[in-house]
Amino acid sequence: MKKDNTTVSSPEELNKYLHHSSFAVWLILGVIVSILLAVFVWSIVYKIKVKISGLADVTSGEITLHIKDKSFNKIEIGQKVYISNQELEILSFKDNNQPVVSKTTLEDGEYSFYIVIREVKPIEFLISR
């Protein structure tokens, strides 16, 4: 196929040019469009979870959460806490701003936990800027 830098000025010339395009070019173009469409749909459907994690002390069925950084100010009463494959809820805060979770049947000890403070769709990063 001869390559030249001429411009297309009529529909007939465009038809002639498109007729000479190979199947591989159309296949690659179709794959690229499909990937872009899949990423767009994923960015609308999928949610990225913003989490706070730490260690929890369980004593006599009461769970106290220990958060090392200053992100405890983002935690509110009623948020869900995920600990040892259980979904629990924050009931109150102790004097030192450590959250207290609902009663549990977990044995006394230390457990790791996380709290989902926000869920963000990837498309929001593109729209918000």
pLDDT, tens only, 104-117: 888 889 999 888 88
Element at 45 (helix H, strand E): helix 23-45
pTM exceeding the 0.85 threshold for the entire prediction:
no
What is the reported pLDDT for 40? 93
| Mean pLDDT calculated for residue range 59-87 | 80
What is the reported pLDDT for 80? 85
Is residue 78 classed as helix, strand or coil in its secondary structure?
coil
What is the reported pLDDT for 28? 95
| Mean pLDDT calculated for residue range 68-82 | 77
Q: Enumerate the domain spans of the chain.
A: 11-45, 48-127
CATH number of the structural domain 48-127? 2.40.30.170
Is residue 14 classed as helix, strand or coil in its secondary structure?
helix
CB proximity list for 49: less than 8 A, separation 6 or greater: 116, 118, 119
